[in-house]
Amino acid sequence: MSGPRFPGFDTLALHAGQQPDRETGARATPIYQSTSFVFDDSDKASSLFDVARAGHVYSRISNPTVAVLEERVAALEGGVGAVCTASGMAAIHLGLTTITGAGGHIVASRSLYGGTHNLLSYTLPRFGIETTFVDPRDPEAFAAAIRPETRVLFAETVANPRCEVLDIPRVSAIAHDAGLPLMIDATLTTPCLMQVLRLGADIVMHSLTKFMGGHGVAVGGALVDSGRFDWEASGRFPELTEPYAGFHGMNFVEEFGPSAYIMRARKEGLRDFGASLSPGNAFHLLQGLETLSMRMERHVANTTSIVQFLSQHEAVSVVHHPDLPTHPDHALAQKLLPRGAGAVFSFELAGGRAAGSAFIEALQLFSHLANVGDAKSLVIHPASTTHSRMDDADLQAAGISPGLVRLSVGLENIDDLEADLSQALRRAARVASTPSVGKEGSA
Amino acid sequence: MKVQVAGSEIFVGQGGVDWASGRDTLVLQHGAGMDRTVWVLLARYFARHGFNVVCADLPAHGGSTGEALTSIESQAAFLWQLLDVLQADHGLPAGPAILGGHSMGALIAVEAAGQQPARTAQLLLFGSGYPMPVAQPLLDAAAANEQTAIDMIAIYSHCLKSQLGHNAIAGISVQNSAMALLERCPPGVLHADLSACNAYEGVDKAAAAFGEGKTTLIVGDEDRMTPMKMSRNLAGQLGGQLVVLKDCGHMVMSEQPEQTLQAVRNALL
């Protein structure tokens, strides 16, 4: 009985959730491009609807190709189960609305992806769900913002774009002391760099569109349940601990125990909101996931080099990455993210907004677009794009200055990337030194 | 529902259907460190196919309070106490019951059949064998409440294919689900359960009292917790039928739910 071993991360990335197709022997996961699935007989049909047997009914609820991806993401995160969704935003929405409703309250980091900020600030309040935003670097602020109607704490592992690192063990302890789950957006770190469920988080979601898929060809999301939060002991979640009239009077905790949350997310959330992932996109995301750790190693290695390069460049005023000892979360990142703090970060050019524009337009290998986590290197100006719906106060609170530039470092040859950055920085410096443009830049 | 039995509050699952007269009773007993939720599909299926399903959490397991029982004999006696309470006060019709159990739960079912053979209609034993020795490193890790104990069980209870996945329930990891269940076990409970399995020597006596030809064993072909040799031995002692599931380890209900269902259907319907 000595020496028990679980399959390793890379093995799971390649195999979890899939076995060679019994009918055809296909080694790769087939794309089951079918809306619905034939019942063997009427007993099987009724049993599937009663959740008395396992199987697929309709691809909005589950699909064999998507199920492989779901099980693989769950395995990589160490969760009891996962539900994949049409996008990362759909995963956040599903994750939150499975346990909150009208009158509910969320405590969230104020440093969030712009789309998440929109959802929490503007959209969910229309449905009676309020959010209090707090400084992610101040765990006690999460505690202070909790109300009787609070249902979940939410934050990102490493915030975009200034790389605030969340102290997940501390914030999860605060959540659990209050009988609440901690939900984490781990899109930018992936389970390769940080397995947040092992650090105390209860729910983790991803935009699979980013590093998990890695190739920028498919939009998708995933929601993963640790299975370790005690919904019954909390007493705040009748959605899970009391009979649900919308599903045969099912009490999800009684029936499913550790997987109550993720089962409810599927049986209610996918059924009624319908933001399911297509099998075609699931297939593309699976191809990317197979090489996750190798890609993340290269992403991190390239980022480490570029962070050093930029931090020593005279045209750059500040670089926001936890690799740097000057970053406020350097020590925390060393502890929680020993394999690297990710490949998305920001920096500020000495020349401000005009220099930033000139820099982005001069780049040739870096693509100017609204995405991160692609195999190819990307760049964007957050204030005018991803975070453009935030007002100046919110921008300031999120730490986004007008001249901030965000990079997502890809897998290209590092010498080529640094050469591209170097020539673009020279262009930016020339613009910054031009009086008329410099005046525009400071406006 | 929650019922009071011998000073403990016991959680009893019914498969989502209230009990009714004119139905056979099917008792499903979980194994070491687990709880009723391991039966979710079978319980829900047979509750909708003419059975009064009883799947209870043993004391100190799942939703039940109390102290862990430390022998298979006391667990079996407790099972009859529970059925007495359910029949007297909670609408479970009287009459012989089909006793099913997984792993340690299978030993409980066998011992219970030996204690009250007239009240036992049939035995369904899942992932089981006899004797059921527990390796000393696992006992030691469980005694120390170490995570290693849970890791060992999670690894040795699932065949490699199940560890990698392709679960029949979409999106669920059977191995991680088993671990999450085991991690909910209060300190000392897993060790008490494993020690009870390790010490149990009562099958000869129970088999003699219960008789032959009324038992079905459903086991996995790659079970490393209760290897085939022990399963064959137990089947032989009970004069039972041995059903071997392909590509399956110890957690037959979650690893191969459809094969398991068909085997139980063949035994009951």
Q: What is the mean pLDDT of residues B211-231?
A: 97
Burial class (CB in 10 A: 0-12, 13-18, 19+), B109: buried
Residues A343 and A412: their CA atoms lie apart, in Å, by 13
Q: Does A17 touch chain B (CB under 8 A)?
A: yes
Strand partners, A150: A105
CA distance A155 to chain B (A): 24
At B180-197, the pLDDT tens digits run 999 999 999 999 999 999
At A151-199, the pLDDT tens digits run 999 999 999 888 999 999 999 999 999 999 999 999 999 999 999 999 9
At A100-121, the pLDDT tens digits run 999 999 999 999 998 999 999 9
Which residues have a Cβ under 8 Å from the Cβ of A438 and sit 6 or more positions away? A351, A354, A431, A432
Residue B265's CB is within 10 A of a number of other CB atoms, namely 14
Start-end ranges of CATH 3.40.640.10 in chain A? 9-36+51-289
Structure token digits, residue B243:
């059903």
CB atoms B167 and A71 under 8 Å: yes
Lowest mean pLDDT among A400-404, B14-18, B99-103, B184-188: A400-404
CA atoms within a 13 Å half-sphere pointing along the CA-CB vector of A142: 30
Query: Closest-CA residue in chain A for B225?
Result: A1
Residues A404 and A310: their CA atoms lie apart, in Å, by 13
Q: How many beta-carbon pairs below 8 A join chains A and B? A: 153
Residue given tokens 């005009």 in the structure block: A354
Which residues have a Cβ under 8 Å from the Cβ of A28 and sit 6 or more positions away? none
Q: What is the mean pLDDT of residues A60-84?
A: 98
Chain A residue numbers touching B28 (CB-CB < 8 A): none
Query: Closest-CA residue in chain A for B178?
Result: A80
Instruction: Name which of A5, A17, A50 is nearest B165 (Cβ-Cβ).
Output: A17
Cα A262 from chain centroid? 17
CB atoms B37 and A54 under 8 Å: no
Which of A237, A240, A211, A252 has its CA nearest to residue A411?
A211
Q: Give CA angle at B232 (B231, B236), nearest 5°.
A: 120
B214 and B122 Cβ atoms separated by less than 8 Å: yes
Structure token digits, residue A117:
């900020």
CB atoms B261 and A53 under 8 Å: yes
- How high is the pLDDT of residue A435? 62
Residues A305 and B139: their CA atoms lie apart, in Å, by 49
Q: What is the mean pLDDT of residues B209-220?
A: 97
CATH T-level topology, domain A292-442: Aspartate Aminotransferase, domain 1 (3.90.1150)
Which of B211, B205, B201, B200 has its CA nearest to residue B240?
B211
Q: Does A40 touch chain B (CB under 8 A)?
A: no
Which of A84, A153, A163 has its CA nearest to residue A322?
A163
CA distance B12 to chain A (A): 9
In this prediction, what percent of chain B has a pLDDT beyond 90? 98
DSSP 8-state secondary structure symbol assigned to residue A165: B
Is residue A203 classed as helix, strand or coil in its secondary structure?
strand
Residue given tokens 């409440």 in the structure block: B145
Q: How confident is the model at residue A237 (pLDDT cuts 50, 70, 90)?
A: very high
Q: What would be the CATH architecture of the domain defined by A9-36+51-289? A: 3-Layer(aba) Sandwich (3.40)
Strands B97-102 and B120-126, how do they pair?
A: parallel
CB atoms A71 and B41 under 8 Å: no
CA distance B223 to chain A (A): 14
Residues B10 and B69: their CA atoms lie apart, in Å, by 13
Structure token digits, residue A354:
């005009």
- How high is the pLDDT of residue A393? 75
Is residue B55 classed as helix, strand or coil in its secondary structure?
strand
- What is the rounded radius of gyration, in angstroms, for the C-alpha atoms of chain B? 17
- How high is the pLDDT of residue A437? 43
Residue of A22, A84, A254, A270 to mutate, interface with B, max B Cβ within 10 Å: A254
DSSP 8-state secondary structure symbol assigned to residue A103: T
Q: Which residue type occupies B234?
A: L
At B43-90, the pLDDT tens digits run 999 999 999 999 999 999 999 999 999 999 999 999 999 999 999 999
Q: Does A55 touch chain B (CB under 8 A)?
A: yes
CB atoms A53 and B171 under 8 Å: no
In this prediction, what percent of chain A has a pLDDT beyond 90? 85
| pLDDT > 60? residue A61 | yes
- How high is the pLDDT of residue A436? 52
- For the whole model, what pTM was predicted? 0.95
Residue given tokens 């007002």 in the structure block: A391
Chain B residue numbers touching A226 (CB-CB < 8 A): 180
Which of A212, A240, A182 has its CA nearest to residue A13?
A212
- How high is the pLDDT of residue A22? 84
Residues A294 and A375: their CA atoms lie apart, in Å, by 11
Average pLDDT of chain B?
97
Chain B contacts in chain A segment 209-248 (CB below 8 A)? 226-228, 230, 232, 248
Q: How confident is the model at residue A438 (pLDDT cuts 50, 70, 90)?
A: very low
| pLDDT > 90? residue A235 | yes
- How high is the pLDDT of residue A162? 85
Residue of B11, B48, B169, B224 to mutate, interface with A, max A Cβ within 10 Å: B169
Residues B183 and B190: their CA atoms lie apart, in Å, by 10
- Per the document, the length of chain A is 443
Residue of A40, A49, A53 to mutate, interface with B, max B Cβ within 10 Å: A53
- How high is the pLDDT of residue A442? 31
Residues B241 and A126: their CA atoms lie apart, in Å, by 61
Q: The domain B2-268: what is its CATH number?
A: 3.40.50.1820
Residues B166 and B158: their CA atoms lie apart, in Å, by 13
- How high is the pLDDT of residue A443? 28
- A220-232 burial code (b ≥16 CB/10 A, e <16): bbbbbbbbbbebe
CA distance B164 to chain A (A): 4
Chain B residue numbers touching A2 (CB-CB < 8 A): 137
Residue of B28, B162, B176 to mutate, interface with A, max A Cβ within 10 Å: B176
Q: What is the mean pLDDT of residues A263-280?
A: 97
Chain A residue numbers touching B257 (CB-CB < 8 A): 53-54
A66, A68, A73, A76 alpha-carbon torsion, rounded to 10°: -170
CB atoms B173 and A1 under 8 Å: no
Residue of A65, A71, A262 to mutate, interface with B, max B Cβ within 10 Å: A71
Residues B144 and B142: their CA atoms lie apart, in Å, by 5
CB atoms B173 and A262 under 8 Å: no
DSSP 8-state secondary structure symbol assigned to residue B90: S
CB atoms B170 and A232 under 8 Å: no
- What is the rounded radius of gyration, in angstroms, for the C-alpha atoms of chain A? 23
Phi first, then psi, for residue B88 (nearest 5°) are -75, -40
Chain B residue numbers touching A26 (CB-CB < 8 A): none
- How high is the pLDDT of residue A356? 83
| pLDDT > 80? residue B229 | yes
